[in-house]
């Protein structure tokens, strides 16, 4: 009980820390955007058009240069993202690295400040998560508590940045934890509340959008919202795959990785000379897209495509930053396009903003894999129940269609490419990432293939084992024999022969990097006491064995830990 209350208090503290960090980050981005002539306000207040054109190209390019150098100091050579947070929590690894956390936040700050077409919520989520994980490590808490503190940081960051505490809590559960245990809920809620309180007191402006409309859509329009959801899923898919495709393409470019962001920045700046809407997070573009008549149809398509390409270019070429804010802009433009088409057909009344918001939700929910969070953001930002219901209609089709066609979220797709498949749930992901190495045992009988069968039986008998592993002079694995096989040979009076002549049933072996999940699968085909672990890469070197009992024990332990974490109340 006391420990649980302590965790709630810790959650609130982490919430405060993460919220302050988020406030600092957001303010710094705004200041940089004004100072570096990225924000429209800064650009309008600057008097020299020629110099403005030069800085428009130069600032993102130089920003890219700085970001590229920052990334050289990260072990993986790229900034960490919410995907890393999800991976750490889903595999119960926890322990987000501090150095990479700080550098990733810095990279996000420079990227956003220099006007790259990326989002701020990704870096904020990762920053909050890193702070949470650091606190857990500092207090020497266990892995389950580490997961909870990570979720606290995430919830506070979202609650602060969006002024939306409920969305923060749900995001931490829906995207990061992926379970709803009371034990995690209370600290996460505490963190979100603290974040919200700090945000309302310190961050006076900064809410994403406000809607004062009170129009009510006609019944048939809800059908349109659902259909928009379906098409929004396709836009989301195009967006995600564009990012991944540019990433692959960038890998083949004959340019040093640390210079790629600068290249993307220069390209972005050049296009922004004609279409400044694609610079930065695009809050003004987002707002205009909710106003009927601010863009005509052609402009909507142009800005939508350019923003999509610009974001894919920036993120794919290695700028640090999130995918959420650009998705909001793209989605809103898409919704506005639908609204304009329906308006041109003479069907809609004054419900334009509904289409914009439906498009926004339909594109963002699949990208971050969080339909509920997207709905709550709409609800908490607009306070409009009708608008939320419309958004619900569009997310109904958007999320499942995108999940079927592309994957649960961009993060999940990225993790799957790294070998962490979360599509079958956390249990499997956990077992897949749990390594067998520490289960490896040398307590087994190894025989030279040239050993005589009689001797082998004796050795096995003395060793108290039923199986022996054939290992040659060079330490290479040559198969296994069971006591039963050897006895059969001896019955047939072939005891003087060598073990290598004994018929063997082929048995699977495991690699040194095999997971508990893989081992459990092998067990289905094996009857015996242990499975040999063999390193293919080192010429079939025999490393030892893993006992079936220890595999089963590991499986049960992991399942039990998960059960405690996900169903514990305190």
Contact footprint for other proteins (CB under 8 A): 39-41, 43-47, 205, 207, 210-213, 276-277, 283-284, 287-288, 291, 293-295, 353
Q: Measured over all CA atoms, what is the biggest interatomic distance in the chain, rounded to whole angstroms?
A: 102
Contacts made by residues 438-445, CB under 8 angstroms, sequence distance 24+: 439/546, 439/547, 439/550, 439/551, 439/554, 440/533, 440/543, 440/544, 440/545, 440/546, 441/530, 441/544, 441/545, 441/546, 441/547, 441/550, 442/544, 443/545, 444/468, 444/469, 444/530, 444/544, 444/545, 445/469
For residue 349, the minimal CB distance to other proteins (Å) is 15
Contact 264, 64 (CB under 8 A): yes
Closest CB to other proteins among residues 148, 164 = 164
Closest distance of CB 122 from other proteins, Å: 23
Strands (E), 124-274: none
Quick one: 288 or 477, whose CB is closer to other proteins? 288
Nearer to other proteins among residue 295 and residue 542 (C-beta): 295
Which CB atom, from 132 or from 282, has the smaller least distance to other proteins?
Answer: 282
Complex with other proteins: residue 45 or 253, whichever CB lies closer: 45
Separation CA 21–CA 337 (nearest Å): 36
Instruction: Name which of 43 and 452 has its Cβ closer to other proteins.
Output: 43
Starting from the edge strand earliest in sequence, which strands make up the sheet with 477-482, in order? 445-447, 467-471, 477-482
Residue 273 to residue 120: CA distance in whole angstroms = 23
Find the shortest distance in angstroms from Cβ 290 to other proteins. Answer: 8
- Min separation Cβ 282 and other proteins, Å: 11
What is the H or E stretch that residue 16 is in? helix 2-35
CB nearer other proteins, residue 284 or residue 454 = 284
541-547 and 530-535 strand pairing = antiparallel
Q: Is 204 exposed, middle or buried (0-12, 13-18, 19+ CB in 10 A)?
A: exposed
Shortest Å distance, C-beta 326 to other proteins: 18
477 strand-pairing partners:
471
Nearer to other proteins, 386 or 483 (CB): 386
Mapped onto helix, strand or coil, the DSSP state of residue 39 is: coil
Q: What's the min distance (Å) between Cβ of 55 and other proteins?
A: 16
**Helix, strand or coil for residue 542?**
strand
Q: Regarding beta strands 445-447 and 467-471, do their DSSP bridges make them parallel or antiparallel, or are they unpaired? A: parallel
Q: Which is nearer to other proteins, 211 or 259 (CB)?
A: 211
538 in helix, strand or coil? helix
Question: What's the CA dihedral at 312, 317, 320, 323 to 10 degrees?
Answer: 10
């Amino acid at each position: 009980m006391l420990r649980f209350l302590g965790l709630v208090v810790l959650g609130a503290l982490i919430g405060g820390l993460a919220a302050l960090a988020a406030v600092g980050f957001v303010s710094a981005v705004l200041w940089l955007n004004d100072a570096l002539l990225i924000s429209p306000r800064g650009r309008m207040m600057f008097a020299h058009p020629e110099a403005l054109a030069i800085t428009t190209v130069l600032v993102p390019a130089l920003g890219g240069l700085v970001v590229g150098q920052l990334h050289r100091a990260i072990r993986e050579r790229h900034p960490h993202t919410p995907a890393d947070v999800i991976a750490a929590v889903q595999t119960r690894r926890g322990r987000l690295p501090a150095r990479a956390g700080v550098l990733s936040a810095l990279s996000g700050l420079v990227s956003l400040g220099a006007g790259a077409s990326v989002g701020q919520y990704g870096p904020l989520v990762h920053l909050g998560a890193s702070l949470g994980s650091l606190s857990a490590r500092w207090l020497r808490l266990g892995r389950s508590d580490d997961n909870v503190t990570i979720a606290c940081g995430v919830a506070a960051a979202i609650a602060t940045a969006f002024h939306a505490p409920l969305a923060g809590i749900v995001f931490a559960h829906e995207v990061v934890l992926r379970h709803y245990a009371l034990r995690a809920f209370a600290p996460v809620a505490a963190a979100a509340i603290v974040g919200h309180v700090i945000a309302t007191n310190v961050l006076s402006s900064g809410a994403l959008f406000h809607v004062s409309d009170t129009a009510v859509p006609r019944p048939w329009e809800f059908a349109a919202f659902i259909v928009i959801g379906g098409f929004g899923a396709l836009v989301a898919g195009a967006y995600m795959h564009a990012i991944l495709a540019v990433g692959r393409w960038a890998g083949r470019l004959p340019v040093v990785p640390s210079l790629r962001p600068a290249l993307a920045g220069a390209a972005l700046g050049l296009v922004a000379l004609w279409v400044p809407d694609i610079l930065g997070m695009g809050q003004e573009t987002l707002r205009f897209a909710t106003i009927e008549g601010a863009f005509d149809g052609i402009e909507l398509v142009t800005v939508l495509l350019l923003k999509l390409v610009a974001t894919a270019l920036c993120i794919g070429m290695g700028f640090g930053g999130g995918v959420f804010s650009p998705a909001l802009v793209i989605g809103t433009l898409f919704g506005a396009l639908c609204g304009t088409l329906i308006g041109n057909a003479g069907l809609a009344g004054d419900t334009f903003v509904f289409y914009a918001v439906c498009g926004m939700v339909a594109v963002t929910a699949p990208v971050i894999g969080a339909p509920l969070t997207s709905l709550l953001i709409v609800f908490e930002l607009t306070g409009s129940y009708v608008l939320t219901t419309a958004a619900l209609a569009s997310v109904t089709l958007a999320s499942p269609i995108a999940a079927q066609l592309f994957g649960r979220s961009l993060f999940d797709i990225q993790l799957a490419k790294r070998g962490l498949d979360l599509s079958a749930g956390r249990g499997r992901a956990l077992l897949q990432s749990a390594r067998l190495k520490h289960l490896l045992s040398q307590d087994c009988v190894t025989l030279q293939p040239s050993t005589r069968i009689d001797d082998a039986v004796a050795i096995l008998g003395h060793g108290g084992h039923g199986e022996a592993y054939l290992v040659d002079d060079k330490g290479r694995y040559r198969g296994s024999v069971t006591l039963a096989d050897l006895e059969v040979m001896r019955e047939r009076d072939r005891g003087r022969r060598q073990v290598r002549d004994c018929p063997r049933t082929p048995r699977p072996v495991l690699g040194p990097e095999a997971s508990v999940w893989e081992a459990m699968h092998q067990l289905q085909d094996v009857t015996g006491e242990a499975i040999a672990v063999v390193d293919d890469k080192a010429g079939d070197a025999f490393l030892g064995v893993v006992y079936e009992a220890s595999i089963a024990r590991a499986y049960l332990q992991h399942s039990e830990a998960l059960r405690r974490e996900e169903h514990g109340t305190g």
